[in-house]
Amino acid sequence: MFTQRFSSTPRGARLARHLAVRRLHAWGVPYGTDASDAVALIVAELAANAVTHGRVPGRDFELRLTRLAGTVRVEVTDTRSGPPRPPAPDDVRAPHPLDEHGRGLLLVDALADRWEVVDGEPPAKTVRAEVDVDRGCADH
């Protein structure tokens, strides 16, 4: 398991993505595989959402990666549990083509094999996504 807290800033979100890919590589999920790229994008989107929508001044967000049999679980926890709450997987809708935002969870929905929003001890919520890594590790 890998757990790290990051500042709720764009720099913190970039660092979370970078460290996630390094951790995957150390776990035997090579850089540039479908699985590594999927996890990198999921971490980037969830971290960006934590920074943009879940930010509470003075509070960090947390990234947790867990390597399970054939799967990597990504969990991003921020410190905002009230509205607006992210939609459930079945409720994600494509934004209007001219909207500048609203595609992050659509990407998570497309890339993750499973995902959900979990309420934590207030004030916290976690978005959890799982990627079956065996599908993309044989690419290299």
Q: Are 101 and 85 in contact (CB under 8 A)?
A: no
The C-alpha atoms of residue 20 and residue 76 are separated, in whole angstroms, by 12
The C-alpha atoms of residue 4 and residue 62 are separated, in whole angstroms, by 6
Q: Which residue has the tokens 């980037």?
A: 44
Strands (E), the chain: 2-6, 61-68, 71-78, 114-119, 125-132
Domain 2-139, CATH homologous superfamily name and number: Histidine kinase-like ATPase, C-terminal domain (3.30.565.10)
What is the pTM (predicted TM-score) of this model? 0.87
Structure tokens at 36: 């590594």
- β-pairing verdict for 61-68 and 71-78: antiparallel
Domain ranges of the chain: 2-139
C-alpha distances out from residue 16 to 39, 62, 88, Å: 11, 9, 23
Structure tokens at 65: 């990666």
The C-alpha atoms of residue 104 and residue 66 are separated, in whole angstroms, by 22
Question: In the prediction, which pLDDT does 87 show?
Answer: 67
Per-residue pLDDT tens digits of the chain, which is 140 residues long: 999 999 999 999 999 999 999 999 999 999 999 999 999 999 999 999 999 876 777 789 999 999 999 999 999 999 877 666 676 777 777 766 766 665 678 899 999 999 999 988 878 899 999 999 875 454 44
Structure tokens at 120: 């934590």
Question: In the prediction, which pLDDT does 139 show?
Answer: 43
Question: In the prediction, which pLDDT does 106 show?
Answer: 87
8-state DSSP, 94: P
